[in-house]
Structure 1
Amino acid sequence: METKKKNKIIFLNFLPAIDSSYSNKGSIYPCTASLLLGTYLNEHEFDVKIIDGAYHQDYLEQLRELLSEDVLYVGMTVMTTQIPFALEASKLIKDFCPLIKVVWGGPHPTLFPEQTLRNDNIDIVVINEGTSASLALAQAFVTNRPLHSIHGIGYKDQSGNIIFSESACLDILEELPYFDFSLIELDNYLNSSSSSVYQREFQSYHDKVRVLPILTALGCPYKCQFCFNVITKRKYRIRSAESIVSEIKHLMSQYNVNTFFFLDEDFFINKKRAFEFVDLVEKEGLHFNWRMWCRVDHFKEKYIDRNFIERLAAIGHGSLVMGGESANQEMLDALKKGITPEQILHSLRTITGTRIMPRYSFMVGLENETLDQIQNTYRFCFALLKINPEVDIAGPFIFRLYPGSPIYDRIIKRYDLDIPKELEDWVIFLQNESCYTHMPWTPEKFQIIAHLLPFYSYFAFLRTSDKKSSIKGLASYFMHQLSKFRIKHFIFKIPFEYWFFMRYLR
C-alpha cells in the first residue's frame, strides 16, 4: 500500500484582538502574511491551505476538517493581542495529533521567542521575517533533515531543550512572488458590504468597491518610538514602479479590481519611485482607487505639492493615511516622529479640494503627557475638521502598553510593571487590560475617564449624513453632537448614554 505523501501545510489567521468582532466582514481584506507564505510554498509544490479566522467565525471547525497526519505543520502569525486565539488553535492541533508541528511567527514570538517555546503546544518559532524559513522548515520535515541549519528560528530538541539558530537575513523583496489569490475564497473579500470602511473611503464612480492589497515595500527607515520596526531593525526595501504597475494591470484584468491597498509603511519614502509610479500610471492610462500611507513632512515644494496631489487624484479616488500622533510638539519629539503640527495642517490644506480623503491617526495617554496636552490633541482634531469636513480622524487612540516598541520597554522598566512571564498569562492580561485602569505614566484624572474616551471619540469624529429622517439617523446625529460636546469640554460625569449602549446595544 502506497504511503500518503506528507506535503500539506496550513496557515491560520486571526482577528486583530479579543475585542474585535465579525460584524462587518466588508472591512476585512485577505491576510497578507498567510498569502505571501502560502504563495511562496505553493510555488515550491507544497499543498497550502489558508484559513482566515478574521473572516470565518468557524475557523476552528475548518481547522479540524483539514487536520490529518499528512500535515507537515500549521503556521500562525501572532501579535500579542492574538495570543488567546492562537493558543486555542494550537491546543486543538496537539489534541488531534501531537506529531503535527505548530509554528508561530510574527511580532510576539519575535519579541518573546523563549517564552513562546516554553509552551507545550508550540514546537517552533520563526523570528522576524520568515518567508525563507517557512520553506526551509517544510523541506526539512519532508527529508527529516535537522533544524539547526535553518536560520532565524527557535525550536525544541528531543529532550525539550530550547535551541536558537543563527539569525536569518531579511527577505529579498525582488525574490518574493505576487500574491496568489487562488489560495483563498477571493469573492468573500471582493464583494464587500456597502457599510464597509472601503465604501466610506472610496466613494467613486464604481457601485461596488473591489479591493485587494498589493505589497510594495518591507521595513521602514524611521525611528518612531511606538513602532515595532524600531526593535526589529527591518531595513526598508522597495519594489520598482514597473513591477507595481505590472501587478496592478494583472489584478485589474484577472479580477476586475478597482481599488488597491498599497502595503508600504510609507509609499513616498523613495521620491524617485513615487514619481516614476505616477508617470507610468499616466502613460498606461490606468484609473483605480487607492489607499497609501504617507508622512506629513513629504508635503513640500518639488515633492508632494498641489500639482502632485492633483496628479494622484486623477488616478482615482484616493485615501492618504498619515500619522499625526499628537498636537503637541513635546510629544512628537518624545516619539521621535520628526514632524510638527504645522506640517500636519499644511498637508491637509494641500489635499483639501481634491477627491483624496485625508486620514490622520492620533494617540493620547503617552508618557509624561499632561491633561492639557491630551485635550489639545482632541481640540486639534476638531480644528482639522473645520478645515476639511471630509477628513477622517482615526482615534485619538489610547496608548496601549503592548510589547514591540522602545516606549514599552522604557515604561516597564521605569514603573517596575509586571508583565506576563508565561504565554498563558497573556490571555488573562489581555482580558483585564481592556479596563484601562492601570496607567501610572498618565495623569490620575485621565485614568478615570480613559475607558470612556474611545466610545465618545468614535461618535464625535463620525462623519454623519445630513439626512436625519430615520430613527437611526437621528440617533446617530444626537450621539455625534453629544459626544462632540463631551470631548470638547472634557465633561464625562454621569455618562448615561455610554451605560445604555454598553448594556443594551453592545
Structure 2
Amino acid sequence: TSRGCPWRCGFCYTLAHNKRTWRAMSPERVVQEFKYVKEVLGVRDLFLFDDEFFIDLKRVAAIADLLEKENLDMRLHNVNCRAGSLCRMDMGLLKKMRRVGLHYILVGVESGSPRVLDSMKKDMTIDEVIEANQRCIEADITPYFSFMCGFPQETEEDVRLTLKLQERLLRDNPRAMVSKTVFYYPFPGTPMFDEAVEQYGFEAPQSLDEWATYIDSPKHYRNVPENQHAFAEDAAIFTVFLDTKFIEIKNPVLRLMANIYSLYLRTAIRYDLLGRRPLGMTALRAVYHAWHKRKGLLEE
C-alpha cells in the first residue's frame, strides 16, 4: 500500500533506492484493492510488503475506518512497523486495526546492542522494543521481531545483548515470535556498504552471479580479526531454536528434542550461563554446513 521510508537506517536498501521518500495509496484505493482480491479472487489473507505501513497514522486510521465499514473479514500479515511507531500510536487505533484484521505485525529490531543500533542510525531504543511488545499483548496482536548479527564493528558482547533481548521478548510475550539472527551483509549503495568497504575491507561480489551465491560470512572483511565473529557465526545457527514456533518437525521425538534445546538456550541466555561454545554446537554446525553444501551454497 506504500513504498519507501523516511528513516535513515544505514543498512537498508530503501535508503539508496527511495532516498528517504515515502509515497502511499489513498485509504480509498487501499480498501478498494483489498475488496477486489476478497470478492473477485477469493483471497482472505493478505501479506503486505510496505517498507513501513504506519508512517502516516491519519492514513492508517482512515484505512481502519473504511475496513470496518466494508466488514471484509480479512487477515493482514507481515504489516511492517517500527517499534517507535507502535509506541506513539494511540492504543484505540491499534485495537481497531486488530478488529479489522491486523493479526501479525513485523518489527525490525536488528540488534539488542544500543551501540550497534546507534552505529547503523536505527533511531530506536531497546526500551521502545520492550514497550512495543507490551502494546501488542494489550492489543491482541502477534509481533514478529527480526534480528541480524555479524556487523563488522560488532563484538561478542553485542551479540549477547541481542540474545538477551530475544529471550526477554519471548518471556514477556509467549505469542511473540523472534527470527534467528541472520548474518548481515552490505547492500551496494547504502552508507554501511561504503563503510564496510572503506573501513573493514569488505570484498564485495563483482557480478550478479557472484551475488547469487554469496554466503554471509565474516571472511569477506579483510580488516576484521578472523575470530571476532566466531560467536556471531554460532548464533546465526543456534538461534533457529530460540523460538520453536518456526520449526516444522513432524517427528515427535525430534520435535521434543528441539523444544528441550530451546529451553536450554533460553535458560542459559537469561541467567548468563551461555558459554562461548554452546552445547551441541559442533553437531549443529555439521548439519548446517552439510545442508548448505547439498544446496550448493558452500564450497567443499
Q: TM-score range by the shorter chain?
A: 0.7 to 0.9
Q: How does 1:40-439 map to 2 (within 5 A)?
A: 216-234=1-19, 235-291=21-77, 292-300=79-87, 304-316=89-101, 318-423=103-208, 426=211, 430-431=213-214, 433-439=215-221
Tell me the CA shift for residue 395 of structure 1.
2.8
Q: 8 Å contact 2:244–2:262 — kept in the other structure?
A: yes
Say if 2:245 is the partner of 1:458: no
Cα distance in 2 between the residues matched to 1:398 and 1:352? 29
Tell me the CA shift for residue 266 of structure 1.
0.9
The corresponding residue for 1:497 is 283
CA change 1:504–1:326 in 2 (3 A) is closer
Tell me the CA shift for residue 486 of structure 1.
6.6
Cα distance in 1 between the residues matched to 2:87 and 2:211? 44
The corresponding residue for 2:252 is 470
**More helix by proportion, 1 or 2?**
2
| Structure 1: segments with no counterpart, 5+ residues | 1-215
Q: 8 Å contact 1:328–1:373 — kept in the other structure?
A: yes
Tell me the CA shift for residue 376 of structure 1.
0.7
Cα distance in 1 between the residues matched to 2:124 and 2:101? 28
Cα distance in 1 between the residues matched to 2:127 and 2:175? 19
Tell me the CA shift for residue 422 of structure 1.
4.8
Cα distance in 2 between the residues matched to 1:384 and 1:283? 34
Q: 8 Å contact 2:109–2:145 — kept in the other structure?
A: yes
Cα distance in 2 between the residues matched to 1:262 and 1:251? 13
Using structure 2 for the length normalisation, give the TM-score. Answer: 0.83
| Structure 2: segments with no counterpart, 5+ residues | 293-300
- Matched position secondary structure for 1:463: helix
- Matched position secondary structure for 1:403: coil
Cα distance in 2 between the residues matched to 1:258 and 1:337? 34
- Matched position secondary structure for 2:229: helix
Q: 8 Å contact 1:348–1:358 — kept in the other structure?
A: yes
Q: Which has the higher contact order (CA 8 A, sep 6+)?
A: 2
CA change 1:243–1:481 in 2 (3 A) is same
Tell me the CA shift for residue 505 of structure 1.
7.0
Q: Deviations over 1:16-39 (max 9, x none)?
A: xxxxxxxxxxxxxxxxxxxxxxxx
Q: 8 Å contact 2:184–2:216 — kept in the other structure?
A: no
Tell me the CA shift for residue 481 of structure 1.
3.1
Q: Deviations over 1:286-343 (max 9, x none)?
A: 2211021111111345xx2322221111123511111112222222222111111111
- Matched position secondary structure for 1:498: helix
Q: Deviations over 1:185-218 (max 9, x none)?
A: xxxxxxxxxxxxxxxxxxxxxxxxxxxxxxx112
The AA in structure 1 aligned to 2:112 is: A
CA change 1:300–1:309 in 2 (3 A) is same
Number of matched pairs: 285
The corresponding residue for 1:166 is none
Which of 401-410 and 433-442 deviates more? 433-442
Using structure 1 for the length normalisation, give the TM-score. Answer: 0.51
Tell me the CA shift for residue 420 of structure 1.
4.0
The AA in structure 1 aligned to 2:11 is: F
- Matched position secondary structure for 1:393: strand
Tell me the CA shift for residue 225 of structure 1.
0.3
- Matched position secondary structure for 1:352: helix
Q: What is the aligned-residue identity percentage?
A: 24
Tell me the CA shift for residue 273 of structure 1.
0.7
The AA in structure 2 aligned to 1:396 is: T
Cα distance in 2 between the residues matched to 1:239 and 1:262? 13
CA change 1:338–1:463 in 2 (3 A) is same
Q: 8 Å contact 1:368–1:441 — kept in the other structure?
A: no
Tell me the CA shift for residue 459 of structure 1.
1.0
Q: 8 Å contact 2:104–2:143 — kept in the other structure?
A: yes
CA change 1:469–1:361 in 2 (3 A) is closer
Tell me the CA shift for residue 276 of structure 1.
0.5
- Matched position secondary structure for 1:437: helix
Tell me the CA shift for residue 262 of structure 1.
2.1
Say if 2:293 is the partner of 1:480: no
Cα distance in 1 between the residues matched to 2:2 and 2:138? 29
The corresponding residue for 2:298 is none
Q: Deviations over 1:201-251 (max 9, x none)?
A: xxxxxxxxxxxxxxx112221111001122234431100000111111111
The AA in structure 1 aligned to 2:29 is: S
Q: Which has the larger radius of gyration?
A: 1
The two structures, once aligned, show a CA RMSD in angstroms of 2.9
- Matched position secondary structure for 1:394: strand
